[in-house]
Every structure is written in structure tokens, then in C-alpha cells.
Amino acid sequence: DKTTFLTQHPPPPSKIYQFSMSGEEEKKREMKRALLIIDVQNDFCPGGSLAVGGGDKIIPLINQMRSEIKWDLICLSQDWHPSDHCSFGPNNKGAPLFTQITLPKTGSKQMMWPIHCVQGSKGSEFHPDLTQDKDKDIVVYKGTHKWVDSYSAFFDNDQKTKTDLDDILKKHHITDVVCAGLAFDYCVGFTALDANKIGYKTTVVQDACRSVAPESEKAMTQRINEQKIPLVSTEEILKSMGH
């Protein structure tokens, strides 16, 4: 059962050490915020090969946050798999989708997904309704390595390889991140948990996300609440941050 499997087999938490800035006044004076738009790609929206129900409904909310809040940086993560990626069921001798196998090469556990977000494919492209500024937005690719998957926009699931996102945020002196996108119970949630562990002040805009399944949404909500990461609405974030 797809729903039960996703709930019972989340990827492991990242092992990252926290750091914190010193002094409330210094934090306030140097606060810089980034919007992290996670995987709003055609294959995760209705009509895509791994569609999240209502995935396209979040796009107007994300666009509204872009236009009505002053961001120091906007980053978009993009699932960007090679065609022979280890997570694709058809690449593993027809392993049933939404089941977990042990990869013979690495010995690691891997969920089997439909083929999705193949590099350069239509499905890997950002949804056409998503507002972008190609001169200023920074795109972070994830899931690019054949033998390891990547849910978080910060780290591969083996916790050994990091994406460019943390370095980019540090280069721009970002202190606060706001996360939205697809899917809440996987890529958005694990991105938020990693951001919090690294030391960013992290917020998730819950109505600007959608989940794969109710059970995994409940499990991710619990993990986020345990870390005291705020779950807010678009209306709330606009009231607190809007111009």
C-alpha cells in the first residue's frame, strides 16, 4: 500500500550540528531572509508522472509571497535525476513501485518511484504558472547522483553529500528561511528540518504546500512540531513580512 509504505519508511534524519548567532540585537540587525521554493515541477503537479494531489493549487500563493514580501534571496530546488537513477522502478528489474528494495551496488534501502524529473525532460521543468526571475533566482539541483536519492534540498539521503544550497545561503548572509512547495511530507519537510538543524530560523508555509498522503503528512507535522519550527499560513506570513 503506497500510503502505508510512505509513512513507515521516511528517509533518515540528517546528522548536522547546530550553530547559533550570538545576541538578539545582532540577530535582528543582520537578519536576511530567503524564500525556498521546493520542487514545484511538472511531474509533481496534476498530469505529471508523480503528481501530488492539488500540487498546482499552491502556485498562486507562492507567487503572492514573491510579490508582496521583500526577499533578500529566492532559491528554487529542482529534482534533477539522471535517466538511470536508482530510485526509478523500471531501472531495478521491474521492482514494484512504492516498495523498498536494497540496492545491490550500495546496500542502501531505496523506495521505488515512477520515472520522474529526468534531467532536461518536460516533467523536470518548473510549472509554467510559477513566477520566476531568471536573472535573480538561484536554482539548486538535487537528486543528481545515480546511486542516491535526495529529498532535502540541502543533503542527499545518504547524508554524505550536500547540495549547493547551504553555501549559497551563507554567501548571501541569509539567517531566516521560509519554505513552501512539494511535497510537504517529503521534500519540503526534510528541507525545513535540515535548515533548522544547520541553524537557520525556519518557517514552513503549510497552505503553500501539498502532501503525498495524510499519514505521512501527520508524521512530518509531528517531526516539525517537535523541532518547534513554525507552521504558518500564507495570510500569516504576509501579515508579518509583507511590505
Q: Which residues are catalytic?
A: 39, 142, 187
* Contact yes or no for 11/189 (Cβ under 8 A): no
Distance CA 98, CA 4 (A): 10
Cα dihedral 205→208→211→217 (10° resolution): 20
**Residue 32, all three cell numbers:** 536576511
HSE of 100 in the Cβ direction (CA atoms, 13 Å)? 14
Give SS3 for 153.
Answer: coil
**Residue 121, all three cell numbers:** 525532460
Phi first, then psi: give them for residue 30, nearest 5 degrees. -100, 10
Q: Write down the residue that cell numbers 548572509 correspond to.
A: 173
Asked whether the CA dihedral 105, 106, 111, 115 is positive or negative, the reply is negative
Give SS3 for 166.
Answer: helix
Kindly report the number of other CB atoms within 10 A of residue 68's CB atom.
Answer: 13
Q: Which residues pair with 202 in a beta bridge?
A: 177
